[in-house]
Amino acid sequence: MAQFDETLTMLKELTDARGIPGNEREVREVMKRYIEPFADEITTDGLGSLIAKKAGKADGPKILVAGHLDEVGFMVTKIDDKGFLRFQTVGGWWGQVMLAQRVTIVTRKGDVTGIIGSKPPHILSAEARKKPIEIKDMFIDIGASSREEAEGWGVCPGDMVVPYFEFTVMNNEKMLLAKAWDNRIGCAIAIDVLKQLKDVEHPNVVYGVGNVQEEVGLRGAKTATYKIEPDIGFAVDVGIAGDTPGISEKEAMSKMGKGPQIVVYDASMVSHKGLRDFVTDVADELNIPYQFESLPGGGTDAGSIHLVHNGVPALAITIATRYIHSHAAMLHRDDFENAVKLIVEVIKRLDRETVNKITFE
């Protein structure tokens, strides 16, 4: 049994918290509690993104380190006459990872347990068994016998539905299994970056941010970045781990435990060359491991950050993670710790002159 240190306790609380896009309050409160001791000021934007400010040199450049608070989940759209719930996916899901999975409906009266159901195989034709069930044909069973009973328990259209999963330290204690690593690990990185800078002089003002609504179009990153007006932006998120059976190096090159991923290209952004080179030079100087990653699809909050105002040099630094956008994902603690170390060391070197040089490379 793993001994829970401060870091594991924080990671458990962050991943256990429930928060689909538009419903991030619970996660924001956990992040606020952990980041507040290291911040000079905590604010939010109008959508609910958390912004923690730590000033090193007051007139220095503004450096943004942004995770996102939200996780992929579902929303109740209808309760039928028999008490079954119809739902909408919120964020990207693949139907094959959803069936027979336990979920929690978060209502104003409290939590209600449910399971995603469908027809059993015994009554499906041989042809139907070969085809995946479409998400539109799935439902959530909460054990209610009628609409009235479900409503009596507090269930209402618009309620968020979150995957149920218990945070687990694997036999290899570096391997951590949890729901919502996408992107509570980014929130944890932002917290630990401010923590590591607590009594350190740095030539800039750092903002540790938990953005809302990333999974539905990088939305909170737009509003939070407008409010902050940073000179440099880092999105910290999960990436794809390409080290499981069936994934070729052509599809995903990265391996868990081999260092944070430096994303050179994804569907939301071409990474800023000057910033990318600066970060990898710092990593090389200090022997911090890292891996390059490029993805033809998907994106991170850097995709919104880099387009705000006159444009912000931005880079996504991600953690290779298995099984994202499902009930449970797995990552390696060393990658988390090396991402924090790398970002802290980069921030220490980002004075005004360096930022100006990076910007125009």
Active site residue ranges: 214
Average confidence (pLDDT) over 50-62: 97
Q: Are strands 168-169 and 175-178 parallel, antiparallel or unpaired?
A: antiparallel
Just give the CATH number of 6-71+179-359: 3.40.630.10
Average confidence (pLDDT) over 9-26: 98
Domain ranges in the chain with CATH number 2.40.30.40? 73-163
pLDDT at 97 over 90: yes
Least confident segment among 35-44, 122-131, 271-280, 298-307: 122-131
Question: pLDDT band at 296, cuts 50/70/90?
Answer: confident
pTM: 0.96
Domain ranges in the chain with CATH number 3.40.630.10? 6-71+179-359
The angle formed by the CA atoms of residues 149, 326 and 151, to the nearest 5 degrees, is 10
Just give the CATH number of 73-163: 2.40.30.40
What pLDDT digit, counting tens, does each position of 100-154 carry?
999 999 999 999 999 999 888 788 888 888 888 899 999 999 999 999 999 999 9
pLDDT at 2 over 70: no
Q: Going along the chain, which residue ranges are E strands? A: 41-44, 50-55, 62-68, 73-79, 85-90, 102-107, 110-117, 139-141, 160-163, 168-169, 175-178, 205-211, 232-240, 261-266, 269-270, 291-294, 314-321, 329-332
For every residue of 172-240, DSSP letters joined together read: STTEEEETTHHHHHHHHHHHHHHHHTTT---SSEEEEEEES--TTTSHHHHHHHHHH--SEEEEEEEEE
What pLDDT digit, counting tens, does each position of 334-345 carry?
999 999 999 999
